[in-house]
Amino acid sequence: MVKKKEKYDFSLYEYHNLMNQNILVSYKGPIDERIMTVIGENILLVTNDGGDKAKNKIFKVFMELAQNVWLYSAESCKLENGKSVGLGTLVVSECGNSYTFVTGNVVNNADVVPVIEKCETINSLDRDSLREYRREQRRLANEGKPNSGNIGLIQVALTAESPLDIELTPVNDDESFLSIAVKISKDNFRNS
Amino acid sequence: MNDIHIQESRDSYIIPAVDFVASTGKCIIKGESFLEETSKFYTELVDWLKDYVKNAKEIEFILQLKYFNTSTSKWILKMLSVLKQFELDGGKVKVLWYYYQDDADMRDDIKDYIYGSNLNIDMVPFTDN
């Protein structure tokens, strides 16, 4: 009797084609400081437009967005050293005159509202008001006050010089998949 | 009191170089800052500064950070707050912050630290050349 071959229900070819759509770097898995440093360095190798100024901006935006996944993902796994780290997805793509950074991770529904409110506030502010907002959040953090989190998202909007694009997809009754995207126009590398 | 000397590293994490010298009152943090345990790393520096200013008349604080994450950013403000209190208590404080000439984001950030800490910070642009 011939044993029926089990069908592997995943097309790596389709995935590869999907990833070919101007995607420079993609990663899914545990995210901690060490992994972020390695991916961050690799992103700098493939984002070649704009010189050092561009690389600086790209690195800063990537690190802040990735930290958000690391710190706030509802999914986690334990590493060899026993440390628990967040799970998530990071994608960097290049399209025409811009780079786009997207991060995604599962979040508890109870934690979603403050993040969305924070993003809406960030998107409603001009650059000077955003800087004022960052100063205020840093002051609160320095005084150990609550609700001083997410300075990283303010930093992302300031560095990328563009709004945060939020998408929320329900996963189940308790959790949703939160995706945060931000674009960096290559024009930013030319302006001082 | 002991000096603090930490070598810059980019092995697994991004650790800035630190040189805090008690005999001269010159304190330098240079490189990039993205650490595994930011709080532990900077608590040592803040405590050192607090100890140092107890018996000092002046201090020179030099920052040259190309990149620092938001966790680090809170600790920078804590260190500047210690220096500001020292100044209010009669100490002489000199702060220099070096930044890449092209890095407009960093320039804005330093201005915000000046505003937030109420300290006079000399902003010094530089290039690699």
Q: What ipTM is given for this predicted complex?
A: 0.84
pLDDT values of chain B reduced to their tens digit, one per residue, 129 residues: 899 999 998 877 889 999 999 999 999 999 999 887 889 999 999 999 999 999 999 999 999 998 898 889 999 999 999 999 999 999 999 999 999 988 889 999 999 999 999 999 999 998 876
Residues A25-68 have pLDDT tens digits of 899 999 988 888 888 888 888 877 767 777 888 889 998 999 88
Q: Are strands B121-126 and B92-100 parallel, antiparallel or unpaired?
A: parallel
A176 falls within a domain = yes
Distance of residue A30 Cα from the nearest chain B Cα, in angstroms: 15
Q: What's the confidence (pLDDT) of residue A1? A: 59
Burial B86-96 (b: 16+ CB within 10 A, else e): bbeeebebbbe
Rounded to the nearest 5°, which phi and psi values hold at A169?
-120, 120
pLDDT at A191 over 60: no
Q: What's the confidence (pLDDT) of residue A3? A: 62
Domain extent at residue A90: 26-190
pTM of the entire structure?
0.86
For chain B, positions 38-77, list CB contacts with chain A under 8 A: 66-67, 69-71, 73-74, 77
A19 falls within a domain = no
A14 falls within a domain = no
Q: What's the confidence (pLDDT) of residue A33? A: 82
- Which residue of A lies nearest to B115 if distances are taken between CA atoms? A135
Residue B125's DSSP bridge partners are B99
Residues A18-34 have pLDDT tens digits of 777 788 889 999 998 88
Instruction: Check if the beta carbon of residue A105 is closer than 8 Å to that of residue A178.
Output: yes
A6 falls within a domain = no
- Other C-beta atoms within 10 Å of A50: how many? 18
CA distance A60 to A27: 18
A5 falls within a domain = no
A16 falls within a domain = no
**Which of A138, A156, A162, A184 to mutate to probe the B interface, most B CBs <10 Å?**
A138
Q: What's the confidence (pLDDT) of residue A102? A: 94
CA distance A56 to A52: 6
Residue type, A84: S
A177 interface with B at CB cutoff 8 Å:
no
Nearest beta carbon to residue B14 from set A37, A52, A158 = A37
* CATH number where A134 lies: 3.30.565
A94 falls within a domain = yes
A11 falls within a domain = no
| Residues in Cβ contact with B105 at an 8 Å cutoff, skipping those fewer than 6 apart | A56, A57, A60, A158, A159
Residue type, B72: T
Task: Kindly tell me the sign of the dihedral angle through the C-alpha atoms of B27, B13, A47, A178.
Answer: negative
CA distance A125 to A30: 33
Domains, chain B: 32-126 (3.30.750)
Which of these, A57, A59, A20, lies nearest to A38 by C-alpha position?
Answer: A59
pLDDT at A115 over 70: yes
CA distance A155 to A64: 7
Q: What's the confidence (pLDDT) of residue A149? A: 59
Pair of tokens at residue A148: 């001083």
| Mean pLDDT within A146-172 | 87
Please give the tally of structural domains in chain A: 1
Q: Burial, A26: exposed, middle or buried (Cβ in 10 Å; 0-12, 13-18, 19+)?
A: middle
Instruction: Check if the beta carbon of residue B77 is closer than 8 Å to that of residue A138.
Output: yes
